[in-house]
Amino acid sequence: MGKAGILLPVSALPNRYGIGSFGKEAYEFIDFLYNSKQSYWQVLPLNPTSYGDSPYQALSAFAGSHYYISLDMLYNSGLLGIEAINDEVNIQGRINYEKLFKTRVNVLKKAHINFIKNIPTEYYNFCNKNSYWLDKYAEYMSLKENNDFASWNNWKEEKFENIQIDFWKFTQYIFYEQWYNLKKYAKEKNIKIIGDMPIYVAYDSADVWAEKENYYLDKDFKPIKIAGVPPDQFSNDGQLWGNPLYNWEYMEANNFVWWKNRIKFAAEFFDIIRIDHFRGFESYYAVPYGETTAKNGEWIKAPGIKLFDEIKKELNDVNIIAEDLGFLDNDVKKMLKQTGYPGMKVLQFAFDEDNSIYLPKNYVKNCVVYTGTHDNNTVRAWYKTLNETAKNRLKNNVPIKKGEKISMALIRFALNSMADTIIIPLQDYMNLDDEARINKPSTLGNNWTWRLKGDYNKKNLIKKISEASFANI
Protein backbone atom coordinates (compact mmCIF):
# COMPACT_ATOMS: atom_id res chain seq x y z
CA MET A 1 0.00 0.00 0.00
CA GLY A 2 1.31 3.45 -0.92
CA LYS A 3 1.13 6.76 0.90
CA ALA A 4 -2.30 8.32 1.36
CA GLY A 5 -3.66 11.84 1.19
CA ILE A 6 -6.84 13.88 0.97
CA LEU A 7 -8.22 16.12 -1.76
CA LEU A 8 -9.85 19.31 -0.50
CA PRO A 9 -9.85 22.73 -2.22
CA VAL A 10 -8.61 25.64 -0.08
CA SER A 11 -11.84 27.40 -1.04
CA ALA A 12 -13.82 24.67 0.78
CA LEU A 13 -12.21 25.28 4.17
CA PRO A 14 -14.60 26.68 6.79
CA ASN A 15 -14.27 30.19 8.21
CA ARG A 16 -16.34 33.34 8.83
CA TYR A 17 -15.56 35.14 5.60
CA GLY A 18 -17.40 33.29 2.87
CA ILE A 19 -14.48 31.33 1.36
CA GLY A 20 -11.61 29.25 2.70
CA SER A 21 -8.32 31.06 3.29
CA PHE A 22 -4.75 30.59 4.51
CA GLY A 23 -5.87 31.44 8.05
CA LYS A 24 -6.12 29.31 11.18
CA GLU A 25 -8.63 26.90 9.60
CA ALA A 26 -5.97 25.91 7.04
CA TYR A 27 -3.51 25.21 9.86
CA GLU A 28 -6.20 23.22 11.66
CA PHE A 29 -6.78 21.18 8.49
CA ILE A 30 -3.08 20.34 8.33
CA ASP A 31 -3.31 19.22 11.97
CA PHE A 32 -6.32 17.11 10.97
CA LEU A 33 -4.28 15.48 8.17
CA TYR A 34 -1.38 14.86 10.55
CA ASN A 35 -3.65 13.33 13.19
CA SER A 36 -5.30 11.20 10.49
CA LYS A 37 -1.84 9.88 9.50
CA GLN A 38 -2.01 11.33 5.99
CA SER A 39 1.00 12.24 3.84
CA TYR A 40 -0.58 14.58 1.26
CA TRP A 41 -2.98 17.46 0.90
CA GLN A 42 -4.13 17.93 -2.70
CA VAL A 43 -5.61 21.32 -3.57
CA LEU A 44 -7.11 22.83 -6.72
CA PRO A 45 -5.51 25.75 -8.63
CA LEU A 46 -5.15 28.84 -6.40
CA ASN A 47 -5.08 31.44 -9.19
CA PRO A 48 -7.52 34.39 -9.40
CA THR A 49 -10.77 33.45 -11.12
CA SER A 50 -13.00 35.30 -13.56
CA TYR A 51 -16.45 34.74 -15.07
CA GLY A 52 -17.80 31.33 -14.06
CA ASP A 53 -15.50 31.21 -10.99
CA SER A 54 -13.56 28.22 -12.33
CA PRO A 55 -9.96 27.89 -11.10
CA TYR A 56 -9.25 26.38 -14.53
CA GLN A 57 -10.10 29.71 -16.22
CA ALA A 58 -7.74 31.97 -14.27
CA LEU A 59 -6.74 35.59 -14.77
CA SER A 60 -3.09 34.58 -14.42
CA ALA A 61 -1.02 31.40 -14.47
CA PHE A 62 1.30 32.87 -11.82
CA ALA A 63 -0.77 35.11 -9.56
CA GLY A 64 -2.70 33.89 -6.51
CA SER A 65 -6.33 34.68 -5.75
CA HIS A 66 -6.64 37.51 -3.24
CA TYR A 67 -9.79 35.77 -1.93
CA TYR A 68 -7.52 33.30 -0.09
CA ILE A 69 -5.78 36.01 1.93
CA SER A 70 -6.67 35.58 5.61
CA LEU A 71 -8.44 38.69 6.91
CA ASP A 72 -7.85 37.57 10.49
CA MET A 73 -4.11 37.57 9.84
CA LEU A 74 -4.33 41.09 8.40
CA TYR A 75 -6.21 42.14 11.54
CA ASN A 76 -3.65 40.46 13.82
CA SER A 77 -0.80 42.24 12.04
CA GLY A 78 -2.53 45.61 12.42
CA LEU A 79 -3.31 46.12 8.73
CA LEU A 80 -7.10 45.95 9.19
CA GLY A 81 -9.48 47.22 11.86
CA ILE A 82 -12.22 45.11 13.38
CA GLU A 83 -14.94 47.01 11.48
CA ALA A 84 -13.41 46.14 8.11
CA ILE A 85 -13.27 42.42 8.76
CA ASN A 86 -16.70 42.32 10.43
CA ASP A 87 -18.19 43.75 7.23
CA GLU A 88 -16.89 40.66 5.40
CA VAL A 89 -18.46 38.10 7.73
CA ASN A 90 -20.60 35.78 5.64
CA ILE A 91 -21.62 32.66 7.50
CA GLN A 92 -23.85 31.14 4.81
CA GLY A 93 -22.80 27.70 3.66
CA ARG A 94 -21.80 27.96 0.00
CA ILE A 95 -19.36 30.42 -1.54
CA ASN A 96 -20.97 33.60 -2.84
CA TYR A 97 -18.49 34.76 -5.50
CA GLU A 98 -20.62 37.76 -6.44
CA LYS A 99 -20.37 39.14 -2.91
CA LEU A 100 -16.63 38.46 -2.79
CA PHE A 101 -16.15 40.24 -6.11
CA LYS A 102 -18.05 43.30 -4.90
CA THR A 103 -16.47 43.68 -1.45
CA ARG A 104 -13.13 41.91 -0.97
CA VAL A 105 -10.95 44.26 -3.03
CA ASN A 106 -12.26 47.26 -1.07
CA VAL A 107 -11.34 45.60 2.23
CA LEU A 108 -7.86 44.77 0.98
CA LYS A 109 -7.39 48.37 -0.19
CA LYS A 110 -7.91 49.45 3.43
CA ALA A 111 -5.13 47.08 4.44
CA HIS A 112 -2.91 48.45 1.67
CA ILE A 113 -3.30 52.01 2.98
CA ASN A 114 -1.91 50.85 6.32
CA PHE A 115 0.76 48.68 4.67
CA ILE A 116 2.37 51.56 2.74
CA LYS A 117 2.97 53.46 6.00
CA ASN A 118 5.77 51.03 6.83
CA ILE A 119 6.75 48.82 3.88
CA PRO A 120 9.05 45.91 4.81
CA THR A 121 12.21 45.19 2.82
CA GLU A 122 10.83 41.73 1.99
CA TYR A 123 8.15 43.37 -0.15
CA TYR A 124 10.74 44.92 -2.48
CA ASN A 125 12.65 41.63 -2.63
CA PHE A 126 9.44 39.82 -3.59
CA CYS A 127 8.64 42.35 -6.33
CA ASN A 128 12.13 42.11 -7.80
CA LYS A 129 12.24 38.30 -7.75
CA ASN A 130 8.82 37.99 -9.41
CA SER A 131 8.96 40.98 -11.75
CA TYR A 132 8.86 38.71 -14.85
CA TRP A 133 5.15 38.06 -14.21
CA LEU A 134 4.16 40.43 -11.40
CA ASP A 135 4.70 43.72 -13.27
CA LYS A 136 2.39 42.76 -16.13
CA TYR A 137 -0.19 41.21 -13.79
CA ALA A 138 -0.39 44.43 -11.75
CA GLU A 139 -0.78 46.51 -14.94
CA TYR A 140 -3.39 44.11 -16.29
CA MET A 141 -5.48 44.17 -13.10
CA SER A 142 -5.23 47.97 -12.88
CA LEU A 143 -6.45 48.37 -16.46
CA LYS A 144 -9.13 45.75 -15.88
CA GLU A 145 -10.34 47.65 -12.82
CA ASN A 146 -10.48 50.90 -14.81
CA ASN A 147 -12.54 49.19 -17.51
CA ASP A 148 -15.24 47.81 -15.19
CA PHE A 149 -13.42 44.44 -15.15
CA ALA A 150 -14.22 43.79 -18.83
CA SER A 151 -12.10 41.37 -20.84
CA TRP A 152 -8.90 43.02 -22.14
CA ASN A 153 -10.07 42.85 -25.78
CA ASN A 154 -12.93 45.23 -24.87
CA TRP A 155 -10.90 47.82 -22.96
CA LYS A 156 -11.41 51.49 -23.81
CA GLU A 157 -9.38 53.08 -21.00
CA GLU A 158 -5.61 52.43 -21.17
CA LYS A 159 -4.53 54.49 -18.14
CA PHE A 160 -3.83 53.52 -14.55
CA GLU A 161 -2.42 55.09 -11.39
CA ASN A 162 0.80 53.94 -9.71
CA ILE A 163 -1.14 53.36 -6.48
CA GLN A 164 -3.23 50.78 -8.34
CA ILE A 165 -0.10 48.97 -9.51
CA ASP A 166 1.23 49.00 -5.94
CA PHE A 167 -2.06 47.64 -4.60
CA TRP A 168 -2.16 44.63 -6.93
CA LYS A 169 1.48 43.86 -6.14
CA PHE A 170 0.60 44.10 -2.44
CA THR A 171 -2.15 41.49 -2.83
CA GLN A 172 0.37 39.08 -4.32
CA TYR A 173 2.99 39.78 -1.65
CA ILE A 174 0.47 39.03 1.12
CA PHE A 175 -0.91 35.99 -0.70
CA TYR A 176 2.53 34.44 -1.12
CA GLU A 177 3.72 35.37 2.37
CA GLN A 178 0.70 33.66 3.93
CA TRP A 179 0.96 30.66 1.59
CA TYR A 180 4.66 29.97 2.24
CA ASN A 181 4.10 30.21 5.99
CA LEU A 182 1.32 27.64 5.65
CA LYS A 183 3.47 25.40 3.43
CA LYS A 184 6.29 25.61 5.99
CA TYR A 185 3.86 24.46 8.70
CA ALA A 186 2.74 21.56 6.51
CA LYS A 187 6.38 20.52 6.06
CA GLU A 188 6.86 20.53 9.84
CA LYS A 189 3.94 18.09 10.04
CA ASN A 190 5.37 15.94 7.20
CA ILE A 191 2.48 16.86 4.90
CA LYS A 192 3.34 17.41 1.24
CA ILE A 193 1.08 19.64 -0.83
CA ILE A 194 -0.02 18.49 -4.28
CA GLY A 195 -0.99 21.45 -6.43
CA ASP A 196 -2.97 21.53 -9.64
CA MET A 197 -1.76 23.19 -12.83
CA PRO A 198 -4.29 23.73 -15.63
CA ILE A 199 -2.71 23.07 -19.04
CA TYR A 200 -4.36 26.18 -20.56
CA VAL A 201 -4.84 29.79 -19.53
CA ALA A 202 -7.95 31.89 -20.03
CA TYR A 203 -8.20 34.24 -23.02
CA ASP A 204 -8.97 37.05 -20.58
CA SER A 205 -5.74 36.72 -18.62
CA ALA A 206 -2.59 38.66 -17.95
CA ASP A 207 -0.67 35.91 -19.75
CA VAL A 208 -2.46 36.34 -23.10
CA TRP A 209 -2.70 40.14 -22.81
CA ALA A 210 1.03 40.53 -22.07
CA GLU A 211 2.47 37.90 -24.46
CA LYS A 212 0.03 37.46 -27.32
CA GLU A 213 2.72 35.86 -29.48
CA ASN A 214 2.56 32.74 -27.28
CA TYR A 215 -0.99 32.01 -28.47
CA TYR A 216 -2.73 31.03 -31.67
CA LEU A 217 -4.44 34.39 -32.41
CA ASP A 218 -5.34 36.24 -35.62
CA LYS A 219 -4.26 39.77 -36.59
CA ASP A 220 -7.04 41.23 -34.40
CA PHE A 221 -5.83 39.10 -31.47
CA LYS A 222 -8.90 36.88 -31.51
CA PRO A 223 -8.45 33.10 -31.11
CA ILE A 224 -8.30 31.17 -34.38
CA LYS A 225 -9.11 27.88 -32.69
CA ILE A 226 -9.94 27.10 -29.08
CA ALA A 227 -9.47 24.23 -26.65
CA GLY A 228 -11.86 21.45 -25.73
CA VAL A 229 -12.34 17.70 -25.90
CA PRO A 230 -14.41 15.73 -28.41
CA PRO A 231 -17.75 14.01 -27.77
CA ASP A 232 -17.56 10.81 -25.71
CA GLN A 233 -19.85 8.57 -23.64
CA PHE A 234 -20.20 11.35 -21.06
CA SER A 235 -21.06 14.22 -23.42
CA ASN A 236 -22.66 14.11 -26.89
CA ASP A 237 -21.36 17.59 -27.69
CA GLY A 238 -17.93 17.19 -26.14
CA GLN A 239 -16.56 19.91 -23.90
CA LEU A 240 -15.89 23.36 -25.34
CA TRP A 241 -13.49 24.95 -22.87
CA GLY A 242 -12.86 28.07 -24.95
CA ASN A 243 -9.21 28.63 -23.94
CA PRO A 244 -6.85 29.98 -26.59
CA LEU A 245 -4.38 27.41 -27.90
CA TYR A 246 -0.63 27.76 -27.62
CA ASN A 247 1.50 28.77 -30.57
CA TRP A 248 3.79 25.80 -30.03
CA GLU A 249 6.07 26.67 -32.97
CA TYR A 250 6.83 30.07 -31.43
CA MET A 251 7.24 28.60 -27.95
CA GLU A 252 9.63 25.94 -29.18
CA ALA A 253 11.68 28.49 -31.12
CA ASN A 254 11.83 30.47 -27.86
CA ASN A 255 13.16 27.36 -26.06
CA PHE A 256 9.90 26.93 -24.10
CA VAL A 257 10.93 29.74 -21.74
CA TRP A 258 7.33 30.48 -20.64
CA TRP A 259 6.76 26.84 -19.70
CA LYS A 260 10.10 26.61 -17.89
CA ASN A 261 9.21 29.68 -15.84
CA ARG A 262 5.78 28.28 -15.09
CA ILE A 263 6.98 24.83 -14.00
CA LYS A 264 9.85 26.28 -11.95
CA PHE A 265 7.46 28.65 -10.22
CA ALA A 266 4.95 25.87 -9.48
CA ALA A 267 7.71 23.56 -8.20
CA GLU A 268 8.58 26.15 -5.54
CA PHE A 269 4.94 26.79 -4.75
CA PHE A 270 3.93 23.12 -4.36
CA ASP A 271 5.75 19.94 -3.36
CA ILE A 272 4.16 17.99 -6.22
CA ILE A 273 2.45 19.36 -9.37
CA ARG A 274 -0.54 17.63 -10.95
CA ILE A 275 -0.66 18.78 -14.58
CA ASP A 276 -4.22 18.80 -15.87
CA HIS A 277 -5.06 17.36 -19.34
CA PHE A 278 -1.55 15.97 -19.79
CA ARG A 279 -2.46 14.34 -23.12
CA GLY A 280 -2.72 17.84 -24.61
CA PHE A 281 1.09 18.01 -24.71
CA GLU A 282 1.18 15.14 -27.22
CA SER A 283 -1.82 16.20 -29.34
CA TYR A 284 -4.41 18.85 -28.58
CA TYR A 285 -8.02 19.10 -29.71
CA ALA A 286 -8.66 22.32 -31.64
CA VAL A 287 -12.15 23.68 -32.35
CA PRO A 288 -12.72 26.60 -34.76
CA TYR A 289 -13.44 29.83 -32.86
CA GLY A 290 -17.16 30.62 -32.89
CA GLU A 291 -18.38 27.00 -32.69
CA THR A 292 -21.02 26.39 -30.01
CA THR A 293 -20.07 22.74 -29.38
CA ALA A 294 -16.83 20.73 -29.52
CA LYS A 295 -18.10 18.41 -32.27
CA ASN A 296 -16.17 19.95 -35.16
CA GLY A 297 -12.61 19.85 -33.84
CA GLU A 298 -9.43 18.12 -34.90
CA TRP A 299 -6.37 16.66 -33.15
CA ILE A 300 -3.13 18.55 -33.82
CA LYS A 301 0.34 17.42 -32.77
CA ALA A 302 2.05 19.24 -29.89
CA PRO A 303 5.77 19.16 -28.92
CA GLY A 304 5.36 16.09 -26.72
CA ILE A 305 8.48 14.76 -25.03
CA LYS A 306 10.65 17.62 -26.39
CA LEU A 307 9.03 20.00 -23.91
CA PHE A 308 9.59 17.74 -20.92
CA ASP A 309 13.17 16.95 -21.95
CA GLU A 310 13.89 20.69 -21.94
CA ILE A 311 12.18 21.12 -18.56
CA LYS A 312 14.22 18.25 -17.07
CA LYS A 313 17.45 19.70 -18.44
CA GLU A 314 16.83 23.00 -16.69
CA LEU A 315 14.99 21.97 -13.54
CA ASN A 316 16.31 18.46 -12.87
CA ASP A 317 13.85 16.54 -10.72
CA VAL A 318 10.39 18.10 -10.56
CA ASN A 319 7.70 16.00 -8.92
CA ILE A 320 4.85 15.82 -11.44
CA ILE A 321 1.62 13.80 -11.63
CA ALA A 322 0.21 13.49 -15.15
CA GLU A 323 -3.58 13.71 -15.44
CA ASP A 324 -3.82 11.14 -18.22
CA LEU A 325 -7.59 10.60 -18.20
CA GLY A 326 -9.84 10.66 -21.25
CA PHE A 327 -8.95 9.63 -24.81
CA LEU A 328 -5.47 8.05 -24.76
CA ASP A 329 -3.75 6.64 -27.81
CA ASN A 330 -0.41 4.83 -28.00
CA ASP A 331 1.50 8.07 -28.62
CA VAL A 332 0.21 9.56 -25.36
CA LYS A 333 1.05 6.36 -23.45
CA LYS A 334 4.54 6.40 -24.97
CA MET A 335 5.09 10.06 -23.95
CA LEU A 336 3.95 9.34 -20.39
CA LYS A 337 6.32 6.37 -20.14
CA GLN A 338 9.21 8.48 -21.48
CA THR A 339 8.63 11.17 -18.85
CA GLY A 340 8.48 8.64 -16.02
CA TYR A 341 5.65 10.60 -14.38
CA PRO A 342 2.90 8.67 -12.58
CA GLY A 343 -0.51 8.72 -14.27
CA MET A 344 -3.93 8.73 -12.63
CA LYS A 345 -6.51 6.02 -11.96
CA VAL A 346 -10.09 6.89 -10.98
CA LEU A 347 -12.17 4.12 -9.44
CA GLN A 348 -15.47 5.65 -10.53
CA PHE A 349 -14.42 4.80 -14.10
CA ALA A 350 -13.57 1.19 -13.24
CA PHE A 351 -17.03 -0.34 -13.70
CA ASP A 352 -18.04 1.05 -17.11
CA GLU A 353 -16.67 -2.04 -18.86
CA ASP A 354 -15.29 -5.48 -18.07
CA ASN A 355 -11.62 -5.60 -17.06
CA SER A 356 -11.29 -1.80 -17.10
CA ILE A 357 -7.82 -0.21 -16.99
CA TYR A 358 -9.05 1.60 -13.85
CA LEU A 359 -9.42 -1.63 -11.84
CA PRO A 360 -6.55 -2.04 -9.33
CA LYS A 361 -5.61 -5.46 -10.73
CA ASN A 362 -4.50 -3.63 -13.91
CA TYR A 363 -2.42 -0.91 -12.20
CA VAL A 364 1.30 -0.37 -12.31
CA LYS A 365 2.93 0.76 -9.08
CA ASN A 366 3.85 4.18 -10.49
CA CYS A 367 0.36 5.70 -10.43
CA VAL A 368 -1.96 7.78 -8.26
CA VAL A 369 -5.41 6.35 -7.53
CA TYR A 370 -8.52 8.35 -6.61
CA THR A 371 -12.07 7.32 -5.79
CA GLY A 372 -13.07 10.45 -7.75
CA THR A 373 -11.67 13.86 -8.66
CA HIS A 374 -13.09 17.39 -8.40
CA ASP A 375 -15.00 16.70 -11.65
CA ASN A 376 -16.72 13.58 -10.31
CA ASN A 377 -19.73 13.32 -8.04
CA THR A 378 -19.18 11.94 -4.54
CA VAL A 379 -19.08 8.14 -4.40
CA ARG A 380 -22.37 8.06 -2.50
CA ALA A 381 -24.17 10.11 -5.19
CA TRP A 382 -22.38 8.39 -8.08
CA TYR A 383 -23.38 4.91 -6.92
CA LYS A 384 -27.07 5.84 -7.13
CA THR A 385 -26.67 6.58 -10.86
CA LEU A 386 -25.13 3.22 -11.80
CA ASN A 387 -27.10 0.74 -13.89
CA GLU A 388 -27.43 -2.85 -12.69
CA THR A 389 -24.60 -4.09 -14.91
CA ALA A 390 -22.15 -1.58 -13.45
CA LYS A 391 -23.35 -2.31 -9.90
CA ASN A 392 -22.77 -6.01 -10.47
CA ARG A 393 -19.27 -5.33 -11.79
CA LEU A 394 -18.58 -3.31 -8.65
CA LYS A 395 -19.89 -6.03 -6.31
CA ASN A 396 -17.89 -8.69 -8.18
CA ASN A 397 -14.63 -6.73 -7.81
CA VAL A 398 -14.89 -4.72 -4.59
CA PRO A 399 -14.90 -6.55 -1.24
CA ILE A 400 -17.73 -4.96 0.76
CA LYS A 401 -17.96 -5.66 4.47
CA LYS A 402 -21.34 -6.35 6.04
CA GLY A 403 -23.15 -3.06 6.71
CA GLU A 404 -20.37 -1.02 5.07
CA LYS A 405 -21.12 2.08 2.99
CA ILE A 406 -20.08 1.91 -0.67
CA SER A 407 -17.92 5.02 -0.12
CA MET A 408 -15.80 3.26 2.48
CA ALA A 409 -15.63 0.02 0.49
CA LEU A 410 -14.26 1.92 -2.53
CA ILE A 411 -11.78 3.80 -0.31
CA ARG A 412 -10.48 0.49 1.08
CA PHE A 413 -10.30 -0.84 -2.48
CA ALA A 414 -8.07 2.10 -3.44
CA LEU A 415 -5.92 1.88 -0.31
CA ASN A 416 -5.33 -1.82 -0.87
CA SER A 417 -4.09 -1.31 -4.45
CA MET A 418 -0.43 -1.40 -5.49
CA ALA A 419 -0.51 2.33 -6.35
CA ASP A 420 2.32 4.42 -4.86
CA THR A 421 -0.11 7.17 -3.93
CA ILE A 422 -3.78 7.15 -2.94
CA ILE A 423 -5.76 10.42 -2.81
CA ILE A 424 -9.32 10.44 -1.48
CA PRO A 425 -11.73 13.41 -1.58
CA LEU A 426 -12.69 14.23 2.01
CA GLN A 427 -16.37 14.07 1.01
CA ASP A 428 -16.01 10.33 0.41
CA TYR A 429 -14.58 9.66 3.87
CA MET A 430 -17.57 11.62 5.20
CA ASN A 431 -20.02 9.72 2.92
CA LEU A 432 -21.54 12.97 1.68
CA ASP A 433 -24.17 13.11 -1.07
CA ASP A 434 -24.33 15.22 -4.24
CA GLU A 435 -24.67 18.50 -2.30
CA ALA A 436 -20.90 18.15 -1.76
CA ARG A 437 -19.99 17.86 -5.45
CA ILE A 438 -17.34 20.43 -6.41
CA ASN A 439 -17.80 20.68 -10.18
CA LYS A 440 -20.02 19.31 -12.91
CA PRO A 441 -18.08 19.74 -16.21
CA SER A 442 -19.74 21.65 -19.05
CA THR A 443 -22.20 23.41 -16.71
CA LEU A 444 -22.29 26.94 -15.30
CA GLY A 445 -23.68 27.83 -11.87
CA ASN A 446 -23.36 26.16 -8.48
CA ASN A 447 -19.85 24.86 -9.27
CA TRP A 448 -16.82 25.51 -7.05
CA THR A 449 -19.09 26.68 -4.20
CA TRP A 450 -19.16 23.72 -1.76
CA ARG A 451 -17.68 24.27 1.68
CA LEU A 452 -16.84 22.02 4.57
CA LYS A 453 -18.78 22.60 7.79
CA GLY A 454 -16.75 23.79 10.75
CA ASP A 455 -17.54 20.74 12.86
CA TYR A 456 -15.83 18.19 10.54
CA ASN A 457 -12.73 17.85 12.74
CA LYS A 458 -13.99 15.10 15.03
CA LYS A 459 -12.21 12.20 16.71
CA ASN A 460 -14.37 9.57 15.01
CA LEU A 461 -13.52 10.88 11.50
CA ILE A 462 -9.81 11.10 12.36
CA LYS A 463 -9.94 7.53 13.67
CA LYS A 464 -11.82 6.33 10.58
CA ILE A 465 -9.25 7.84 8.19
CA SER A 466 -6.14 6.81 10.13
CA GLU A 467 -7.37 3.25 10.63
CA ALA A 468 -8.34 2.91 6.96
CA SER A 469 -4.94 4.19 5.84
CA PHE A 470 -2.98 1.75 7.99
CA ALA A 471 -5.24 -1.30 8.32
CA ASN A 472 -4.20 -4.67 6.91
CA ILE A 473 -7.05 -4.87 4.43
Sequential pLDDT tens for the chain (473 residues): 679 999 999 999 999 999 999 999 999 999 999 999 999 999 999 999 988 899 999 999 999 999 999 999 999 999 999 999 998 998 778 999 999 999 999 999 999 999 999 999 999 999 999 999 999 999 999 999 999 999 999 999 888 889 999 999 999 999 999 999 999 999 999 999 999 999 999 999 999 999 999 999 999 999 999 999 998 876 889 989 999 999 999 999 999 999 999 999 999 999 999 999 999 999 999 999 999 999 999 999 999 999 999 999 999 889 999 999 887 889 999 999 999 999 999 999 999 999 999 999 999 999 999 999 999 999 999 999 999 999 999 999 999 999 999 999 999 999 999 999 999 999 999 999 999 999 998 788 889 999 999 999 999 999 999 999 875 44
Q: Given the residues 25, 196, 207, 276, select the one marked as catalytic.
A: 276
Q: Given the residues 207, 324, 375, 428, select the one marked as catalytic.
A: 375
Overall size of the chain counted in residues: 473
d(CA 473, CA 453): 30
Could you confirm whether 375 is annotated as catalytic?
yes
- Contact 2/367 with Cβ under 8 angstroms? no
What is the pLDDT, as a whole number, of residue 473? 40
Pairing, β 320-322 against β 298-301: unpaired
φ, ψ of residue 73 in degrees (nearest 5) = -65, -35
User: By CB neighbour count within 10 A (0-12 exposed, 13-18 middle, 19+ buried), where does 151 fall?
Assistant: middle
Q: Going edge to edge, which strands form the sheet with 298-301?
A: 239-244, 225-229, 283-288, 298-301
φ, ψ of residue 422 in degrees (nearest 5) = -125, 120
User: By CB neighbour count within 10 A (0-12 exposed, 13-18 middle, 19+ buried), where does 340 fall?
Assistant: exposed
Tell me the three state secondary structure of residue 281.
helix
Domain residues for 392?
A: 3-470
What is the pLDDT, as a whole number, of residue 472? 41
d(CA 152, CA 140): 8
- Contact 55/71 with Cβ under 8 angstroms? no
What is the pLDDT, as a whole number, of residue 470? 74
d(CA 328, CA 236): 18
Could you confirm whether 323 is annotated as catalytic?
yes
Q: Residue 91, Cβ neighbours under 10 Å: how many?
A: 10
The domain spanning residue 264 has which CATH number? 3.20.20.80
For the chain, how many structural domains are there in total?
A: 1
Could you confirm whether 276 is annotated as catalytic?
yes
Amino acid at 190: N
Tell me the three state secondary structure of residue 443.
coil
Q: Given the residues 204, 323, 324, 428, select the one marked as catalytic.
A: 323
What is the pLDDT, as a whole number, of residue 235? 81
Q: Of 3, 1, 4, 2, whose CA–CA distance to 428 is shortest?
A: 4
d(CA 206, CA 228): 21
- Contact 52/444 with Cβ under 8 angstroms? yes
